Amino acid sequence: MSITNNTSTKGTGPIIIVEELRKRYGDIQAVDGISFEVQRGEVFALLGPNGSGKTTTVEIIEGMRSADSGRAWVAGIDVRNNPKAVKQLIGVQLQSSAFFEHLKLAELLRMLGSIYRVKVDPDPLLEAVDLAERKSASFRTLSGGQKQRFAIAASLVNDPDVVFLDEPTTGLDPQARRLIWDLAKTWKRDGRTVVLTTHYMEEAEELCDRVAVMDSGKIIAMASPAQLIDQLISRGFHREQEVRLATLEDVFLDLTGRSLREF
Ligand code: ATP
């Protein structure tokens, strides 16, 4: 398969190619021979039950774990051969434990930038996740949701072509979740590719051009959300019509406002 000509850092076509990836942990076949492509500028999600192999797959593409067999390329670069070059092109949402607790948010972003040898202006990054006013606060004083939003801002310090988000909105309130959705849409408009995992089907439907559904380490379906829904309906599925003009989330947003609330 010819790879390097159609996954360069510029142009159109696939920016990620995954071919026959496998990873086993003892008795568990976490990833079982999966292949897929992500097109440049797509928002693409891996969906699947707990333990279906989503994080393992994503971390292999990021160069954080090694595959037993199969290959992955990002922008034409073979992750196995050159994980450092791949890391320059991607943004990854780090766990809270990756950040120095006592550093201020602006300092943390500048420090992360220095790892990539880029000079970072913390203000627009913090602004995007509504944390501009906390730039002089230390990381440890943030709430759980604020830490999560900060981690998303931090994934952009190197101006990446591809952003990986692992369950980016788990545990966030509805306002913060919408802020992250808007951010992902902005990244897409900027031409970035976004790869995420999520357990929220509503989130996948709102954001994703295509999704791959994983189960027991395999991809069992891959298409746009609308196509998958149409396929289900064409198999005879139908749901009892329940016409309700609002949801509990609408009630919550009506009571507490649509903008983020900080105390
Ligand atoms: P979740 O939705 O719960 O985050 P996931 O789809 O991301 O799950 P993975 O984290 O990729 O799934 O895990 C796939 C399988 O591999 C699971 O059975 C998990 O227990 C196992 N696994 C993952 N990492 C390791 C590891 N470092 N050592 C041993 N087993 C592992």
* Residue pLDDT, tens place only, 27-71: 999 999 999 999 999 999 999 999 999 999 999 999 999 999 999
Q: What is the mean pLDDT of residues 121-144?
A: 95
- pTM, two decimals, is 0.91
Name the residue with the closest Cα to ligand 1, atom 3.
50
Give the model's pLDDT for residue 242.
78
Question: Partners of 37 in the beta sheet?
Answer: 17
Give the model's pLDDT for residue 185.
95
Per-residue pLDDT at 110 exceeds 50: yes
For residue 81, which of 73, 92, 69 has the smallest C-alpha distance? 73
Distance 15 CA to ligand 1 centre (A): 25
**Is the distance from the beta carbon of residue 66 to the nearest atom of ligand 1 less than 6 Å?**
no
Name the residue with the closest Cα to ligand 1, atom 20.
51
**Mutation choice for ligand 1 from 24, 27, 28, CB with most ligand atoms inside 8 A:** 28
Distance 47 CA to ligand 1 centre (A): 14
DSSP 3-state assignment of 190? coil
| Residue-range domain boundaries for the chain | 14-238
- Nearest ligand 1 atom to alpha carbon 214: 6
Lay out the sheet containing 14-25: strands in order across.
28-39, 14-25, 69-74, 77-78
- Nearest ligand 1 atom to alpha carbon 49: 2
Dump pLDDT digits (tens) for 136-187.
999 999 999 999 999 999 999 999 999 999 999 998 999 999 999 999 999 9
CATH of domain 14-238: 3.40.50.300
Q: What is the mean pLDDT of residues 121-141?
A: 95
Q: What angle do CA 149, 192, 164 make, to 5 degrees?
A: 50
Give the model's pLDDT for residue 260.
75
Name the residue with the closest Cα to ligand 1, atom 19.
51
